[in-house]
Structure formats: structure tokens, C-alpha cells
Chain A
């Protein structure tokens, strides 16, 4: 709810013109009333309407500036006749009126050009730019007419008292935590300009191979095409650019030329998605980056957590090499300690902590003693599997004994394994267990099938079932039963969903007498992970969240200690790769300015990015014009169960070119311009 003077945003009709301040009707939307802590906004104008926050807005100038922004931002456009010439004419005519030289016929021409743009433009930016302009011309006609009839400039035309800040967005870009320019990379595929596609991705997302495979793609949930038929298969289209670069052995297509060194140094702790991303964008800005990694290999959880069949390491290594290509220095086998951190504060201009969450949480059952053999944390389990599968790093003898392995790799032949979880990590555990030859693999999950699909993906769940994983829903481990500290069986409770008589969320309640025992050799807790923050010197008193992660304001990612930043799971808690990328990208941008100026700032683009996310760009109620419904979403082929379940071949083939092109053509290029006047 925002207090506004006038608003046509998303079709609302709020008109407080002439009303006293306290009688103002409120807008239903999270409009950016405060631009930042230093400035209040005067107006917000965008694809779906216009809102004025004060009576003292020069609407003619506002319209002119919005049209001008369309010209300024035309690098995102300029690709269709109506948009290109229409946009220019809009601006020229509006400016002519605003400076006091307009004629009555200009208003008519404005409406005519607007209609052609709305009907025939290539992308939504051209179709929607006229919307708020027409709103202003309709509701404030007298102000336009005053300029025309009096042949005088608009009231603020010659004043420089207002800043007009614009931003290009799209529903998918807004939903993506890394704000990847999705329409641009899809356009690259559509135009068969795969290098352009990849460069568009890498503007904000260096891990193109990775996030073309294992991203949970929140963008697809907010894809505007959903309103018409089905969401675009956004994620997989990312692979085409990356594959083009790799398949033809080109050098790396970076989004910009690396700036020459500015003589500043940053340490990044952790070479996972967040660390790699931070390093990449800092390096592009000319900052010298050292990345410290505890493991012998680079890539963090995506390397040692995500299995080979989902994320082939040779592809991930390409993403990592793209980071190294910018001169980033990697130091592996180095666990950073508090002492080292104290030293880093002197040696480096800033530090980015990106250590993830690598401690498997307990399942909280009776007799849950870590010393019981067969009790094996998901993170360590996956480490051991992946280090061997991907890097031929074998399980050390002590661990072999500890985990009752017959050989120096994870061989589960003849064994029964139960995993408690429900998220991606637990899926990885059970599917890896199948591939490690387990006799029986059980997933215990407190909730139901629909929820596990929601928390992972339909494909992931379905493929696990196909491969032979047994899912027991509405269940939880009550007790671990051991003999001489060797796990023998689990006592499992069953639950049911009991509706809340008061209409609240249904609650899970234990069914008495329904508990049962199952014989197992292994219990893998994969319920969640927590961060190991022992590297933060205690005397720094770095603030934590209530989930025991590092606290920042979620905008600039600086911790409570100046110069120490945090991004990724260690900041947010266990979350997605793309979330880590988005945070680290922002952190890198803030840090690149900080190491030069000592100030913590956000760029206008970043401020607008946050405003728009709050406002939400995607409107699931919007009715789509100008696109034919009923064109089905493409699905890429996958290996059959028999082809995949006893090996680590990548399950998904990825799109054929034909599928990719058909899918790319479904993209509606929903670019929009939003602008704040402050």
C-alpha cells in the first residue's frame, strides 16, 4: 500500500487531484515512494501505468523523459521498424510540445504512432512505452494543451530539479536472483548468434553451463508466457551459447573487456558458485583476486555435491576456466582460519566470505550418535562419491573403515541406504546411491509427493522413482537402532495431515501405533545444512542471523564489519546456485566501488532492481495480446532408465537445435522500461 497522488498502475484508477493530503486514497502496489535513504520519489512511470507521488510533477516533462529513456535504452531495442522510428517520433513530438513549440496535430500524431507501436512492435518495450504516455495525455490533457496553446514550455522544462532514473527489466529477469538478461540470451539463440547469447548471460551470470543445467529456474515460474500457455524452457536455452563456445574451442566470450588492474586486492573465501561469481565480476573490474578453497578441487558444492549425471564436471570446469581466464588466482587445499582472516584484513582491500553451508544438520531422532557406523552426513557422503567419480580422488583408508566401504570408493553393493530429506541434496544422495550399486534405497520424507516435487522438480522426482528409489512419505525417523555402534535398523514414525479446524495450515500429526522398523546399513541425514563460521575471528563480533548465517542487509552484502562481505549460502542459508550467483554479483559490484572509494554504495541500476523486485514485474493476471497460444513447451530427450542408472552419464541430452529454435521463438521478449523521477 502506497500513498499516492495519482496512479493508473496495473489498471487502478487513483485520482487524488484536488483532495487534501489526509483524504488520499492509497495504491494497492509497492510503488517506490522512497528512491533511497536520501531521496523521496516524485513519480513512477512504467509499462503498466504511471503514479505521481506529489502534485508538483511536470507531467509533460515526465512523459518526454520517459520517451527519451526509451531512446537512451535503445540498445535493448532498435530492432523493429515501429519501435525504432516510433520511439524517436514519440520523443521528438513530446519534446516539441514540452518546449512550447507543439501543434494540435502533434497530439494526434502521438496517438497514431502510439497505436502502431502498441499493435506491431517486436517486443513489449515498444508495445508498452506508449501506455503511460497515453495515460498522461488523457488524464492531464490540460497541461499538454496549455503548452501547445500558449506556445510555452512545460512548468519544469528549463529546470534541472529532478532526476529521471530508468531501468530495463522483464518478468523473468526480475524473478531471476541473478537478474540475467534472459530475453537477450534467448534472442541470441533465436537469431543463431550464440556468442551474443552467451555474452548476454555472462553479464550477470558467469556459470552458463551450470545454470543451463541445474538451476531451479525461478524465472520460469514468472515467465509471462505462462499466462498464454506454458512457460518457456528458459534454463536449458542457456546451454546453447555455452556449448557453442566450448564445442568450437573459442576463447571465452566475456561480456566486457577486463579492465586493467586498478591495484586493489580482494580475497574470496570459497570457490563455489558465490566465490566464483564474486571473483569473476571483481576481476572484470580490474581487481586482483585470490580465491581460497579448502578442498583440493574448485567449484564448491556444485563440484562435490551435485552429481556428475546432473552436472558433468567437464562442463562446470569450462565455467571455472572462464573465471580463471580473467586472471583470478586460485589457492586450493587451504582452509581459511580466523588467524588468516585477521591477516587478510591487512593484506587485502576487502574480503568476500563465500564458504557455503557444509555441515549436515541432524535429523533429531533418538540415539542419533555420530559415532554410529552407517550414520553418514549427506555433504560428506556426496563429497566422497563426487571426488572419486569426477576427479579420481579415492576415499582415504580411515574414511573407508569409518563408513564400512569394501573398497576405496563408495561401493554400496548389497547395502540398504535410507536418506531423510526432501530437497535437491537428498535427491542427489539417493540417486548416487542407486549408481553406487545399493540393493535398496529409501527416501523418508515428512510430507507428501506434491511437496517434494515443489521443493525439487518434477523431473528430478520422477527420474529417481524410475531408477528405483523407494519413497516413503509422511514418515520420519524416530530412532536409530545399533549393535555395538553399527547401524542395524531405523524405527520410523508415520504421520498424517490433520486439517486445522480454524482454517489454518494443516498440521502433521503422528499416527499412533503405525510406527515400523526397517533394516538399513546407512542413514544419510539430508534435511538441511548449516554454515561453518569458525573462520570469523570472534573479536570481530560479526552479526549472525537467527539461522546462524552471516547477516547483511541483503542489498550490499557487507557484514557488520567494514570491508568484510558475505554472499551465497553462508549468508542466506542453504539455497540455490542462482541465488548465490545473484548475491555475489551484487557484492562484487559494491566491493569494486568500495575498494576504490571506501564507500558502500548501490548504483541507480541496483536501486531500481531492488525497487522493481519489491513491486514485482510479473503479473499473473495479465491477459496476453499479440501472441498465439497453444504452442507447446519443448522438452529435451533424456537417457532411458537402463541407459543411466548404473553409470554417471548426463541424464539430459539438452535441446536439439530444432527444439531450441522452436522454444526460443516462443519467447515474447517482455522487456519493459520503468522510470522513477526524484
Chain B
């Protein structure tokens, strides 16, 4: 703790905090143009200069930690004069196109120009011709760019794409794609978000609306289980009476949170509905007839609760294999850890200096976890071990050790990993014996992971202080998921690792905590809610009864942080809701969100009313979104089971894995997001499957077949191909083990 003063008033700073951070916490205002709390200081704008009693000249508050007893002045006449001059420099030749600029009204340059009273161009310099760059979803206008470098910092330090850099050239400097002619990135759009001026803009949004015309609706992203905060920005579409509003864009509180491209650009899902009394009656009849509902996890907690009430009151069976797998996994997990949930979070990953990722394609499954890993790698120098049968190029600049194991051998790998990490742990004699008795030779040989790789993990983590384990969704639906869960739980229970599970869908966790799920089967008849069924309802697919999509609903989700997060209606839906269907079946309330307060306390819900839930970050980044579930105690009566014989996956194996920014039927609908539906494989795979680049192929799964194009991916290695799942009729199928041995046949050639 360091004590110093600002303008004579006592202020304290934590070790490592800068003068600017301490000042902000204490409520002092120091102007900045390039400062971004979540990255290292860009230190380019120089507006944050301050004076002190121990220095000659100004010092930069954003990168200087205070020293004990320092006396800081933040607003002298001298400072004001130089800051004003800096603003005059910023305004040199800045194009006078505020009238049409996207940023106008929400522009830092406008605000500061006004704040410092720069009313005319004081200095002059030669004009230069600049070309506007078109980079797909992103446009860049260098003449508007103030070269604050926020975009460059965020892309490298938080996202990990490291796709843009500053081309140094003094007055001619500009932001350029790094090591590439064209921007080659995952199009998260975070650079647009952090741009303080109109230099980086969404090409779709550009010139379509003014900032001040848009209504901002805080919500939670519906695409993956990270539960990122976002704001739907909505406006009427024309001045005609009764013109319907639509979502123009999505923004985020970039200062404290981060959003991926699916969240930012994939907002235009869902469809219109109308109240068709007859169709509603048919839906109710169908449910009554089949006494079963099959549903996806793209559902709010309140809807899940309605379904549970239907089950309880009318004996309706509930099918959701994905959530059931998660539920079973966590049940087994809790039987060792004694807690209903894991203890980790995305934030814990970002703060850690050692991360193990096991069993998932994290970078595309859950971008927020990827960003947290990038943050940890860059800012904390975190060691990152990535354990998966397939290497992921997106993670190369994060991963420090890649451990490749054979498809299907996760249980053996989990046992070896637990043994490695528990070497020094204070476990029971029985547990110690369990690990001592493991047939290491067999496990290492079958999984193809050498003991030296585990030795290296052991060495790496001996010196790390904040450790996290990320469990990917491959493990949730593995044949031996429950023993894997118990092994992973041992790690959290007996070491200082915290664990986070990358649940597959937006509300898998919520559903698992609310619904008592039944085992589904191949020929089970049920009404589908955003899922297959004899009768279907929902917001996607060719459903019979239209219900609102998640951007037209209010309610809550539970993220993988075990946080209950509210979402709101961006565009009103004219048709019926699940609540209306349920009302006809005897489960009724005025509004869906009346159920928020009734969510089961036994699962850790707090009983809060929906309207009591916040959905924002405080000025210093305090998380004021919903609330965190209580981690309820459960009985720790589980025992580790012997590792079964490890299975072998030979022949043509595919891995269900979506391309960047694709998650489900919602993202599949989105106009802006790229829709790659090809099966991607290496040359080795092509040879094994006897197919060539561009071939039209039929892929036969255990549960049915699909026709796709085959794309030969030069960057890939090995015999496992990637098959997308977001583009199925009801989006991702996360209900079974993600690797599958398939039959592939050539049905034609595209070329």
C-alpha cells in the first residue's frame, strides 16, 4: 500500500497500481485519449500528464506507479495549457465529417475537443491523401485515426489474434494488418469497440444510423456459455407509422468486458411471430398427446423452470441430452468435491499464471475463455498446457506445451494428469494407492502421451501460483465422463487449481440446475422446442409454432462462471411465448420473468426478482450483472473407478467443431457471419477417406448422414477431420461424444 496525495488530498494505491488508476478509484478525473483499463498503457496520447513535487517536468500518470509520500497535481494551469495544445494537435487536419461519421455523438475526440475548448484549427500541416481500407466486416479510415493504439493493444493482449499493428511513419503512421495484405483475423470486432473515433467501424452499420438515435438494451449474449455482456442497439427502421424497430448493431462495455464476433455481428437472428390461436391449440394438444418435450439449451432459466413445472404438474417428460450429460458430469464431480459447481471462472483464468486446457476446442467453443487465456499468457506470462487430439493454430501464441492424446483416451489422460498434479497433495491412503496402482505404461502407450510430458507439466506447475484447469466439452459426453469428472474433481479438491467447465450452450448450466431430465432415445416421440420432435415450436428451424428468440425474451441464463445473468427484449415479439403454451397446460403466470424469483434455492439461486438484477459494469469495472450462484454443498460420497480399457478410434474420424464465430442455429442465420459448412481435413485424412479437395461427400454418422463439401486444409495434420454442427436444422448437436468414426463416400465434385 502506497500513500500519496492528489491535489493535496490523501490517496492510497495498491502495489503495481499507477497514479491514474489510484486517481480514478479515488474519484479524480485525469483526461485520457488512449487509455484502456484492460490492456497495458498505450502511452500515446500524453493527455494524462501530471505534475509532482519530486519531478522536474510532467510525468505520465498512466504508466507511473506513485512513490510513498508523493504529492501529485493533476490540474494546474500549465497542465491545462499543454493538454489543450495536445488537443489542438489532434485536431490538425481531422476531417470535418462529423455530420456523417458513425462515431459522432459518442466520439472521444469530439468530447475532448469540446472539453478543452478548441474552437478552430490552431496549427497547420500539409494535408495527406489517405485511402479507406475495406476489411470485410471492418472498415478503416486512416484520416480519422488518431493512432491511439487501443485497437492494436486489445487485438494482441486480450484477443490473441495479433492481426493488426501500427505502421510507423510519424505523421503518416497508420494501422495495418500484421504480416498480411488483407486483415486476417477472427473478426471479433473488438477493435471497432475500442476505437475512440470513427476510424474503425462496422461496415454493416456504417452510415446506417446516428449514435444518438439508437436505444441501448443491455443483454447477455445467447451464443455460448460464457454469458458475455452486450448491448443491443435498436432503432425504428423508417418514419412510417407503425414501422418496426430492429437491431442495428451490438456494442459492449469494452473498457471492462470483451465480446467475440458472434456476439457483436450475429445479432440478427429470430423471426417475427403472430398470435395464431389455432396453432397454439395444436401445440398444446401435441404436448398433451406425447407427454414429452425435447428442448435445446438455448433457453432461459425461467423457460426451463416452466418446463420443470410442466413435468411436475402434468408428468411431461423432459429431454435434453446435452444438459443431462453436463448434469451427470457435475453430479459425479460433486461426489468428490462436495460442491455442486466447480470453483473457477473465466476471470480466474485471466488472472492465472498457469492454465491447463483439457478436452475441448476452446478457442472456437468459448472465445471468452480464449481471451482469458490470451490475457493470462500476455499479462502474466502464464504457462498454458493444451491437451487435445487436435492442435489449434489459433492458440499457438498462447500455448506453451501441446499434449496430443489419442481420440477416446481421455479417461487415461485424466488419470495421469490427476496423478501428476496430485503428486504432493495430501490425499487419503486409498487415493494414493489408486494412483500408485495405475498402469502407467499402458495408459501412456494407449493415449500416446509420454511420461516426460507429464513430468514437464509437473515442473511447469511447480512454480506457478494461480492455476486453472479448463475442462472442455469433449469430456462431458465421453463414455467415461463420470470417472473423468471424479478425476478432475480430485485436482480441484486437493490442489490449488480452480476449475472451469466449458459447457456447450448458452444455458446448459442453467438447465442442468433447474430441470429434472429424462433419458432420451432414438425413437422417443416428443414435442420439440428448438429441437426435433413430432410437433415443433421455437425460434429457429421450420417450426410449427413460432416462439420468441433469445434476443426477444427477458429472462436469465447461468454462465460457466455460475453467474445468473439477465437478458432483455431487444425487439418485441408479437406471437406467443412458452409461458402462453404452459398457461394452457395449467402452469400459468402473467410474465415469464415472474419465475425468476422462484428458481430453485437448492441449486444456489438466490430468490431475487428479475427487476432487481443489474446488468452493467461499474465505472471501475465492478461486475454489477445479476448475481453469482451460491456453490451449494453436496455429499462427497464418490469414489474413483478403475480406468477402463482405453478405446481406439481408427479409420476416418471426424470431430464436431464449429468454425470461428459459429455456434448454433442463431449464428447460422446471421447475415454478417461467414458460413463455412465444409468438412475440413488434412491430406492424410483425404488419402484415408479417398477424397480430394472440393469433393462433394456424404458423411454417415451413427445417427444419420449429411452431405458436405470437403476442403483440404494445408495447416491441418493427422487423421481427424473437422465437421461443423451449427448448420443442422436445430443447430449444434452436443448430445454425444464429439469425435465419431464415420463412413465417407464421394458423391460428386464441385469443381
Contacts and interface: CB of A to CB of B under 8 A. Distances in A.
Query: Most chain-A CB neighbours within 10 Å: which of B33, B122, B168, B379?
Result: B168
Interface in A59-75: 70-71, 74-75
Contacts of A514: none
B55 A84 contact: no
B156 interface: yes
A630 B54 contact: yes
B149 A625 contact: no
B44 A80 contact: yes
A206 interface: no
Contact of B173 (A84, A92, A113, A661): A84
Given A87-B171, A120-B58, A662-B65, 19 more contacts: A71-B171, A82-B86, A84-B147, A85-B171, A88-B126, A89-B125, A113-B89, A115-B85, A121-B46, A190-B40, A191-B153, A191-B156, A192-B156, A248-B398, A248-B399, A657-B353, A660-B381, A662-B16, A665-B64
A269 to B, nearest CB: 37
18 contacts: A71-B171, A74-B171, A81-B45, A81-B46, A82-B86, A84-B170, A85-B171, A122-B46, A190-B40, A192-B157, A192-B378, A249-B402, A623-B56, A626-B57, A626-B59, A629-B55, A631-B65, A662-B65
A628 interface: yes
A626 B58 contact: yes
B271 interface: no
A628 B171 contact: no
B399 A78 contact: no
Contact of B92 (A85, A115, A626): A85
Contact of B170 (A74, A625, A660, A661): A74
Interface string A607-634: 0000000000000000111111111000
Contacts of B171: 71, 74, 78, 84-85, 87-88
Nearest to A123: B43
A628 B55 contact: yes
Given A89-B92, A193-B156, A78 B168 contact: yes
Given A85-B92, A631-B67, A113 B170 contact: no
Interface in A78-111: 78-89, 92, 109
Interface of B: 16, 33, 40, 43-47, 49, 52, 54-59, 63-67, 70, 82, 85-86, 89-90, 92, 122-126, 146-147, 149, 153, 156-157, 162, 165-166, 168-173, 353, 378-381, 383, 396-400, 402, 463
A76 B168 contact: yes
Contact of B67 (A112, A626, A628): A628
Contacts of B166: 78-79
Contacts of B169: 74-75, 78
A663 to B, nearest CB: 12
Interface string A623-658: 111111111000000000000000000000100111
A233 to B, nearest CB: 16
Contact of B40 (A120, A623, A656, A661): A661
B380 A71 contact: no
A112 B397 CA distance: 45
Interface of A: 70-71, 74-89, 92, 109, 112-113, 115-116, 119-122, 190-193, 195-196, 247-250, 623-631, 653, 656-658, 660-662, 665
Contact of A116 (B44, B85, B146, B400): B85
A65 B44 CA distance: 25
A239 to B, nearest CB: 11
A661 B396 CA distance: 22
A329 to B, nearest CB: 28
A75 B171 CA distance: 10
Given A81-B86, A109-B123, A192-B40, A630 B157 contact: no
B146 A81 contact: yes
Contacts of A196: 165
B223 to A, nearest CB: 28
A192 B379 contact: yes
Contacts of B153: 191-192
A191 B154 CA distance: 11
Contacts of B125: 85, 88-89, 92
B59 to A, nearest CB: 5
A547 to B, nearest CB: 44
A626 B85 contact: no
A509 B400 CA distance: 58
Contacts of A623: 56
Contacts of B379: 192, 657, 661
A625 B49 contact: no
B63 to A, nearest CB: 5
A81 B44 CA distance: 6
B55 A627 contact: yes
* Residue of A81, A122, A629 ringed by the most chain B CB atoms within 10 A: A81
Contacts of B383: 247
A79 B82 contact: no
Contact of A630 (B47, B56, B67, B123): B67
B157 A74 contact: no
A119 B170 contact: no
Counting from the closest, the 7 A-B pairs by CB-CB distance are A74-B170, A657-B381, A625-B57, A88-B171, A85-B89, A626-B57, A78-B173
Nearest to A623: B56
A193 B152 CA distance: 10
Contacts of A113: 85, 89, 123
B170 A120 contact: no
Contacts of A116: 82, 85-86, 89
Given A248-B397, A630-B67, A71 B59 contact: no
Contacts of A112: 85
Contact of B46 (A80, A249, A627): A80
A131 B44 CA distance: 21
A623 B54 CA distance: 13
Contacts of B89: 81-82, 84-86, 89, 113, 116
Contacts of A121: 46
A87 B170 contact: yes
Contact of B49 (A70, A119, A193): A119
B665 to A, nearest CB: 36
A79 B148 CA distance: 8
Given A81-B45, A249-B396, A88 B57 contact: no
Nearest to A127: B57
Contacts of A89: 89, 92, 123-125
A122 B396 contact: no
Interface centre among A82, A85, A196, A626 (most CB of B within 10 A): A85
Nearest to A662: B16
B173 A248 contact: no
A82 B89 CA distance: 7
A29 B163 CA distance: 47
A109 B85 CA distance: 11
Contacts of B380: 657-658
Given A85-B90, A92-B124, A70 B40 contact: no
A196 B146 CA distance: 22
Given A81-B90, A81-B146, A656 B82 contact: no
B46 A624 contact: no
Nearest to A74: B170
Given A74-B168, A81-B89, A626 B55 contact: yes
A260 B378 CA distance: 35
Nearest to B39: A192
Contact of B123 (A85, A119, A247): A85
A191 B156 CA distance: 9
Contact of A80 (B43, B64, B397): B43
A344 B33 CA distance: 61
A656 B381 contact: yes
A77 B396 contact: no
Contact of B82 (A87, A119, A624, A625): A119
B44 A122 contact: yes
A92 B82 CA distance: 21
A161 to B, nearest CB: 26
A625 B54 contact: no
